[in-house]
Structure 1
Amino acid sequence: MNTKNADFIWFDGEVKPWESVTVPITTHAMHYGTSVFEGIRGYSNNENLFIFKLKEHMKRLIESAEVYSINPRYTLSEMCESTIELLKKNNIKTSCYIRPLLFVGLHGIDLNVTRNSPSHLAIIAFPFNRYFPETGIRTCISSWRRINENSTPPMAKAGGNYMNSVLATQECKRNGYDESILLDYHGNVSEAPGENIFVIRNNKIFTPPLSDSVLEGITRDTAITIAKYFGYEIQERSISRTELYIADEIFVTGTAAEITPVISVDNHSIGNGQVGKITKEISSFYQKIVTSKIPEFKDWLTAVW
């Protein structure tokens, strides 16, 4: 972020003024990408501000830290309570984005990070609405391949992983697209730089399995649950590039992206080039869930006020 977005940041157990939170230039994470993070959304309605799947996100943060032996320092409940504390301190009552960031500090220049290496936890939050347009996005297949389990674990939401996403995003933007889609090392569809992907053909929904270098997305899991709730058949299986071109509908999911329609891939129109019926149905229901309008799913929400 290139501007101040709130008055306070939660940092290492304290709520501090935004401008006061700084880290040394020798911070290990700045040199080697030794950080893990989460993206979490808060949604407002006329009654309250609700954090969507707060515990699930913080649990994944702790799991990502475990992969790289980074000491999370705080318990799951402490992380959740600190997030609520920060939102209240900033008096945030509108829809917002929350970013917990756990990183290695003054470890030195060697690479042997252990649970004894100094780590820090920061949580920031700021007002946030839509990331992509509701009308859908134009995508292209990236020439860059998605990181692979044999080199850099895709299931860990690590800062360093996103250099791969930066390259794919730069490429698609240079070529006039909104977003890219990455294939895995075997040529199967993996995911977008920051989103999971779903393909719909003949009223059946398909999404790549975790084995195809996919992040275990929390919004991905939500979309699967909603699809099953509506009675759609959904399968986790490998998807070829060609299937994207002949799909009836495609959508991507992510904390920032929510449920976003894909209206073209490599200039091939998806369906009629408009938001599809099933995508619209799932997206609309998702918005009702996160704003506490569906009682059956209220346990996914944490009220702030």
Structure 2
Amino acid sequence: MSSISELIWFDGKYVKHSNAKIPVTTHAIHYGTSIFEGIRAYWNGEELNIFRLDEHIRRFRNSGKFYDITLRFSNKEIKDAVINLCKKNKIKTSCYIRPFYFVGQYGINLHVTKKAPTHAVIFCFPFGDLFNKNGITACISKWKKFNDSSTPTQAKMGGNYLNSILATQDAKKRKFDEAILLDKNNKVSEAPGENIFIVKNNTLITPPLSSSALDGITRKSILEFAKIIKIKTKIREISKDELKKADEVFLTGTAAEITPVIKIETKKIGEGKVGDVTKQVMDTYTQIVMNNNKKFSKWLTNVY
């Protein structure tokens, strides 16, 4: 991770990140009771724009509701804090923005209620590509994605991501760039931090939320702008065999953006390089986030 911004927003105040400290008895450290979002801001050489900020903030609040963890600031206050954090740090490069809130001093009590004390923090840092955009390798993880019968799949909750950490560790030990998790029915779910699409006969196919896939903001954006660029889409279950026989595969997420997968275990995907449909999706996404596609300027929040 690149250097964190000098100033951090902490419970309504801008403080130096070296001064942003919490007690070791903080509930979230012990039990994972934290909620987070990942947001990107893009610098196009003239202006800084934040991608789908309102949608991220709505999900930010809703994630906590699954656990009765309360965000004690309004959506407008969080939005203003994100924008002003970029301004105060004089950000003039593309960056990643991480807001999170967490349960503070609450003893060892597991009965978390809406009245439990919470704190909110936002920081940012310069950020480029998470993965190689020329394509990565992936494996089917030995770990399954958790499902709604055990843990809410639509909550971006700190503790939930231990499942992702296990899958990532497994992939790295096996010398792959990324993991792909299956759901409880052995259907394709998602990657540790990304949704997944396959391309078959020029149609984009992505698993349904019932396959324990996160309702990703990048995923939703692609499903929406695919109509404009005349690419057909389907949301349905995908088998492991179908995944490996796909014409193209790519991952999507705020950090990953659109990342092509060119090999799954020993199986080369398509021609083993970025496919034509994937390239079209990548190019359109870049145009949108760089504010070069005015049809989607509504998705951008201008900082300056």
**The TM-score by the shorter chain falls in which range?**
over 0.9
The Cα of 1:232 is off from its aligned counterpart by: 1.7
Q: Tell me if the contact between 1:4 and 1:18 (Cα under 8 Å) persists in the aligned partners.
A: no
TM-score, reference length from structure 2: 0.99
Partner of 1:53: 52
Q: Which residue does the alignment assign to 1:38?
A: 37
Q: Deviations over 1:93-132 (max 9, x none)?
A: 1100000011100011011111100001000011111111
Which residue is 1:107 aligned to?
Answer: 106
| Number of the residue aligned with 1:280 | 279
2:5 aligns with: 6
Question: Residue 265 of structure 1 corresponds to which residue in structure 2?
Answer: 264
Aligned letter for 1:172? A
AA in 2 matched with 1:180: A
Q: How does 1:102-251 map to 2 (within 5 A)?
A: 102-251=101-250
Report what 1:27 is aligned to: 26
5+ residue gaps, structure 1: none
In structure 1, C-alpha distance between the alignment counterparts of 2:28 and 2:191, rounded to whole Å:
24
Kept after mapping to 1: 8 A contact 2:140/2:265: yes
How far apart are the structure 2 equivalents of 1:129 and 1:46?
Answer: 15
SS in structure 1 of the partner of residue 224 of structure 2: helix
Q: Secondary structure at the match of 1:171?
A: helix
Aligned mates of 2:3, 2:46 — CA distance in 1: 27
Q: Secondary structure of the residue that 1:253 maps to in structure 2?
A: strand
Q: Which runs of 5+ in 2 are unaligned?
A: none
Give the distance between the partners of 2:90 and 2:159, measured in 1 at CA.
32
Amino acid at match of 1:63: N
In structure 1, C-alpha distance between the alignment counterparts of 2:28 and 2:228, rounded to whole Å: 41
The 5 Å alignment of 1:281-296 reads 281-296=280-295
Given that 2:208 and 2:237 are in contact with CA atoms closer than 8 Å, whether structure 1 keeps it comes out as yes
Q: What is the aligned-residue RMSD (CA, Å)? A: 0.9
Distance 1:161 1:229 in 2: 35
User: In structure 1, the residue corresponding to 2:146 is in which secondary structure?
Assistant: coil
Quote the offset at 1:231 in angstroms: 1.6
Offset of 1:4 from its aligned partner?
4.5
Determine if contact 1:65/1:71 at 8 Å carries over to the other structure.
yes
2:296 and 2:164 map into 1 onto residues whose CA distance is 32
Larger displacement relative to structure 2 (63-72 or 221-230): 221-230
